[in-house]
Chain A
Amino acid sequence: MSLGHVLLGVLADGPAHGYDLKRAHDERFPAVKTLAYGQVYATLARLERDGLVEVAETTQGAGPERTAYALTAEGRAALLGWLEKPEPAGPYPADDLVRKTVVALRLGADADAYLRRQREVHLARMRELLALQRATDAVDARIVVDHTISHLDADLRWLETAANRLAEGRGR
Chain B
Amino acid sequence: MTEVHDPLMTAVGLRKAFGRTEALRGVSMTLAPGEVLAVTGPSGSGKSTLLLCLAGVLRPEAGHVQYAGQRLDELSESRRTRLRRRELGLVLQFGQLVPELTGVQNVMMPLLLDRHDRAAARTSSLGWLERLGAGQVADVVPGEMSGGEAQRVAVARALVAGPRVVFADEPTGALDTLSGERVLEALLSSARDTGAAVVLVTHDNRVAATADREIVLRDGRADPRLVT
Contacts and interface: CB of A to CB of B under 8 A. Distances in A.
Contact of A153 (B205, B210, B219, B225): B205
B85 interface: no
Contacts of A122: 205
B188 to A, nearest CB: 11
B209 A126 contact: yes
B225 A116 contact: yes
B205 A156 contact: yes
Contacts of A79: none
Contacts of B210: 127, 130
A105 interface: no
A130 B209 contact: yes
A127 B228 CA distance: 14
B205 A152 contact: yes
A153 B210 CA distance: 13
Interface string A152-172: 110011001000100100000
B205 A113 contact: no
Given A134-B185, A164-B42, A167-B218, A120 B228 contact: yes
B204 to A, nearest CB: 9
Given A113-B225, A116-B226, A164-B42, A123 B185 contact: no
Contacts, number: 31
Nearest to B228: A120
Contacts of A146: 177
A116 B215 CA distance: 12
Given A123-B214, A134-B185, A149 B206 contact: yes
A112 interface: yes
| Dominant secondary structure at the B interface | helix
Contacts of B39: none
A123 B205 contact: yes
Contacts of B177: 146
A4 to B, nearest CB: 33
Interface centre among B185, B206, B208 (most CB of A within 10 A): B206
A127 B226 contact: no
Contact of A112 (B208, B209, B225, B228): B225
Nearest to B219: A167
A126 B206 contact: yes
Interface in A132-161: 134, 146, 149, 152-153, 156-157, 160
Interface of A: 112-113, 116, 120, 122-124, 126-127, 130, 134, 146, 149, 152-153, 156-157, 160, 164, 167
Given A124-B209, A157-B205, A164-B42, 7 more contacts: A116-B225, A116-B226, A120-B228, A123-B205, A130-B210, A153-B205, A153-B206
30 contacts: A112-B225, A113-B225, A116-B225, A116-B226, A120-B228, A122-B205, A123-B205, A123-B208, A123-B209, A123-B214, A124-B209, A126-B205, A126-B206, A126-B209, A127-B209, A127-B210, A130-B209, A130-B210, A134-B185, A146-B177, A149-B206, A152-B205, A153-B205, A153-B206, A156-B205, A157-B205, A160-B42, A164-B42, A167-B218, A167-B219
The 5 closest A-B pairs by CB, nearest first: A126-B209, A156-B205, A127-B209, A123-B209, A153-B205
